[in-house]
Amino acid sequence: MSWFVEVLKKYAVFAGRARRKEYWMFTLFTVIFYIVLAAVGFAIDFAYLPVIFELAILLPTLGVTVRRLHDTGRTGWWVLIGLIPLVGAIVMLVFLCSDSESGQNKYGPNPKEVPAFA
């Protein structure tokens, strides 16, 4: 749950890098919340409840996706390839599942590497 909250704290931050774990834990909790809200919306006969949720987390989702692409050494504009049906989704899935670049890249230091304190 802390991964979800951390992404929400960086509501519209598109700079920097995000680990695979940060991205996929955020995605997992988003799917869980969506399913719960869809069930509640169905129960109270208000089908727009999950849509409102998705609109509310649109910027954090874009932010963490761009930061995840930065972690793999790609520009955030690659997120637009997801607009291409099927092929774009497969390419994005490969990019988002890829391991991060080791060391520092032009988007910042590797979030996996914890600096040693003396």
Domain range list for the chain: 2-97
* Confidence (pTM): 0.88
Chain-wide mean pLDDT for the chain?
A: 90
Q: What is the pLDDT of residue 88?
A: 94
Q: What is the pLDDT of residue 94?
A: 95
The whole-angstrom separation of Cα 71 and Cα 64 is 10
Which residues are bridge partners to 105 per DSSP? 108
Cα–Cα distances (Å) from 7 to 26, 37, 38, 51, 91, in that order, read 7, 20, 22, 19, 23
Q: Is the pLDDT of residue 116 over 70?
A: no
Q: Is the pLDDT of residue 117 over 90?
A: no
The whole-angstrom separation of Cα 56 and Cα 64 is 14
The whole-angstrom separation of Cα 107 and Cα 13 is 13
The residue-averaged pLDDT of 36-65 equals 94
The residue-averaged pLDDT of 62-70 equals 95
